[in-house]
Structure 1
């Protein structure tokens, strides 16, 4: 189905079209009709499934814009609050809907000023509860959404959530989204929702199983060398490289052009004419590589992208899913390749958990491997080459000056220029290095879990690596006796 089939308001559909959204994801397809009917829902779906649009679009469609706060979205972290707020503002801009983002660390007066003009509040539990208990705001929202409820449980916000709902009107529509459904979340759902409809999206529905996902671990200064080596080895027909910032897009496009690649950048600061030229050239095959930010690539609809490269990983799993969804379209196979540093290894684990996809660690090929592949490709190209009648006259001319062996050697030398491989022989981490990173992440995860148990989910302290093996798993303060 398409978003047109939901029969949204014209101005909301305009924003959806401008954002490049065409087909709803499984959670959007199942949840949007239920929300439009006014029913409460419990949605079990991981990050990266399109939850924000699943609750945001139908609620924006139903808002009356009467000058009051009509909807509240509660999320576990300030980063997610900003992300959700930006997304809702983007969809609601033609409806003149304003959002207020509320989280700790900012001045109360500034946030209260934004709330006075907002139809939608996106808030973290702690600061939102402070505003309610301090009687700094008096709101009666018709819609209340809990996003990533299990994360809020893990962070110790369950009591805050329960107290927040004592301030909410009894007549409301409540939507709860959670990746997992532990007992505490089920009990919360029973207490705050009325006859909810349950919607469950399995992990296999998050990402396209026709997309092969791999990552390569390098040091920060090796990113450019790694990208060139991977392009030499994989030789993609049409690819998109994703960067986090507009500045990075500009720098990388200049660098790749200097290396002889047909590449152009795409980001929000470019003029509309430049954007259209780049996209049209890419669609028609005049451009091999498009380098883009997440926002700029949202409107891309190109079916024959063979590879997606993450020059940097995105900040969240949902953006990762959007990125790799540019390949493997229309039933074709695609490849998603990420270049990561050891510091980003935890993000790889988070993406795997959120999407249910398998990201395979690989080692960047050395010069010998790339050269062998290039030579084999060249040999196959020669085998497949048809002989044209026009070359007989050329060959006769050359035979007047050279014997046939010399002619063959010279022509082969010309062709072999394409087999030249740039850069250092070895780039990035070895298999042993990657295995050690895996073990370190698992060890750190166990330490973090023990730390949370030891402090009852609240407070915290700085872990001393040298003494990390001497901690008692049940207390962050007690120490085991040293062994001689």
Structure 2
């Protein structure tokens, strides 16, 4: 379906969409836009990369009175990066309008944001915590707000922002259009929809498999101490144009950045402890292909929308199974294919199986690449470069030198030496040692299907232990009576109770 088939979309928006290169609507855009244009509340349940921003952006802009110069729409996102990306996308839709959106997020001086707010934006995109700050300062006034969007609501819940979201919604006018977007619908998110939304339409756009079909998912069963060398070999074999590597902790990300830089890879990274200014610079370098490898934690990479990512490598399994979907969703976008590799410790195989069950997809087992395979891939690429150079034309000066060399040396020896120089194969690799991480254990919330026999066995074991404790206690009581110490034991219990009560009062 084409955007122009919806008759009530303003020509200014349609011109902007043409400039953005969109020809037809995605599934969620087809279903959300007509409902939202009727000023009805809507819930959109879909994965990342489905065109949500345009789906809520068009109805927001259609509902703006640009002459009023008041804040009329608020979009809440879980992270700074997503706030910046959503704001940039909204501004592309606003290309032919007199107003632009403003992003408000933590990690940036609030005075700079107050200065931007003086430009009287009609739309703001904000993280919940920073939005609360502005509302309390009255630098963001809620009186004229007519539309609120909660983007990636489940992520705001998992990151602990949901109380702020509820408080912000309580500050909003009663006559409000609310749009909520979430990949999953936990009970707390359902409660928000019941409390703050008016008979919302529920649009669910989800493929049979939760992960993108265009992604070739592979896993490597590997021990902790082998992972770094395996990573380097993968990078040498595939030479990814744009690759994101995920580490579980900030320390892991820092160590991977340092280790890969020592091995001469073009790599930088982002995590929560980095200043926002530095994170933005790193992402800009990655988008412009000045570096081809980005190392990130889950939180720092939330909502990243970078086109052209070809490979995702899960150096560590994510803490939460849902995060796996978000990770590999960075690749295989906009009709392109992608590859994901996941390193799995032998003790983490149960966790991997749960990911497959959750995503309704199977990962292909991939053998740990060898050093010989990596070298062969490097040499093949170097030989391709030589062939390309020959195809693109000759240089007379180099040709003279080549003829002179051929008079003295064998042609095979010359080409082999050239390949060696091009690949720097004689260069000694820097030694890299990472701090070990313990294998992940499957948490209780994922253990839905327990073995009945095991459960029965545990129950019997429990009763047996209870009986032993009971018999032991009865034996002690008999001994106390025999020794005349029953009263003394009661006194001791009273003293312990009094001490416990005293500690409680002090706290």
Please give the TM-score of this superposition, normalised by the length of structure 1.
Answer: 0.54
Alignment of 1:382-421 (within 5 A): none
Residues 230, 369 of structure 2: 8 Å contact kept: no
Q: Unaligned 5+ residue runs, structure 2?
A: 246-260, 266-283, 330-339, 344-365, 381-409, 447-507
- Which residue in 2 is equivalent to 1:148? 152
Cα distance in 2 for residues equivalent to 1:14 and 1:206: 34
- Which residue in 1 is equivalent to 2:488? none
Cα distance in 2 for residues equivalent to 1:23 and 1:294: 28
Alignment of 1:363-378 (within 5 A): 365-369=369-373
SS in 2 for 1:181: coil
Q: Unaligned 5+ residue runs, structure 1?
A: 233-238, 245-251, 257-291, 298-308, 325-335, 377-409, 447-484
**Structure 1 residues 74, 369: closer, same or farther in 2, change over 3 A?**
closer
1:194 and 2:198 correspond: yes
1:316 to 294, 301, 304: 301
Residues 313, 338 of structure 1: 8 Å contact kept: no
SS in 2 for 1:69: coil
Cα distance in 2 for residues equivalent to 1:10 and 1:153: 37
Q: Deviations over 1:256-293 (max 9, x none)?
A: 9xxxxxxxxxxxxxxxxxxxxxxxxxxxxxxxxxxx96
Cα distance in 2 for residues equivalent to 1:71 and 1:354: 27
Cα distance in 2 for residues equivalent to 1:374 and 1:133: 58
2:215 to 208, 211, 227: 211
**Structure 1 residues 87, 97: closer, same or farther in 2, change over 3 A?**
same
Q: Deviations over 1:269-325 (max 9, x none)?
A: xxxxxxxxxxxxxxxxxxxxxxx967569xxxxxxxxxxx9622575365468435x
Q: Mean Cα displacement is larger for which, 138-147 or 2-11?
A: 2-11
**Structure 1 residues 313, 372: closer, same or farther in 2, change over 3 A?**
closer
1:97 and 2:95 correspond: no
Q: Mean Cα displacement is larger for which, 62-71 or 15-24?
A: 15-24
Q: Mean Cα displacement is larger for which, 152-161 or 164-173?
A: 152-161
- Which residue in 2 is equivalent to 1:124? 127
1:54 and 2:46 correspond: no
1:353 and 2:353 correspond: no
Residues 27, 49 of structure 1: 8 Å contact kept: yes
SS in 1 for 2:373: helix
Q: Deviations over 1:89-121 (max 9, x none)?
A: 233233233222233455554433433411111
Residues 12, 92 of structure 1: 8 Å contact kept: yes
- Which residue in 1 is equivalent to 2:45? 44
1:174 to 167, 175, 178: 178
**Structure 1 residues 360, 84: closer, same or farther in 2, change over 3 A?**
same
Deviation of the 1:79 alpha carbon: 3.5
Cα distance in 1 for residues equivalent to 2:113 and 2:183: 29
Alignment of 1:465-484 (within 5 A): none
Alignment of 1:252-401 (within 5 A): 311-312=293-294, 316=301, 318-319=303-304, 322-324=307-309, 336-338=310-312, 346=318, 352-354=324-326, 359-361=341-343, 365-369=369-373
- Which residue in 2 is equivalent to 1:139? 143
Deviation of the 1:182 alpha carbon: 2.1
Residues 312, 341 of structure 2: 8 Å contact kept: no
Deviation of the 1:146 alpha carbon: 1.4
SS in 2 for 1:323: coil
1:63 and 2:59 correspond: no
Larger-Rg structure: 2
Cα distance in 2 for residues equivalent to 1:207 and 1:178: 15
Please give the TM-score of this superposition, normalised by the length of structure 2.
Answer: 0.52
Deviation of the 1:243 alpha carbon: 8.3
Cα distance in 1 for residues equivalent to 2:187 and 2:294: 37
- Which residue in 2 is equivalent to 1:73? 75
Deviation of the 1:143 alpha carbon: 0.9
Residues 218, 226 of structure 1: 8 Å contact kept: no
Cα distance in 1 for residues equivalent to 2:102 and 2:135: 15
Deviation of the 1:425 alpha carbon: 10
Deviation of the 1:88 alpha carbon: 1.8
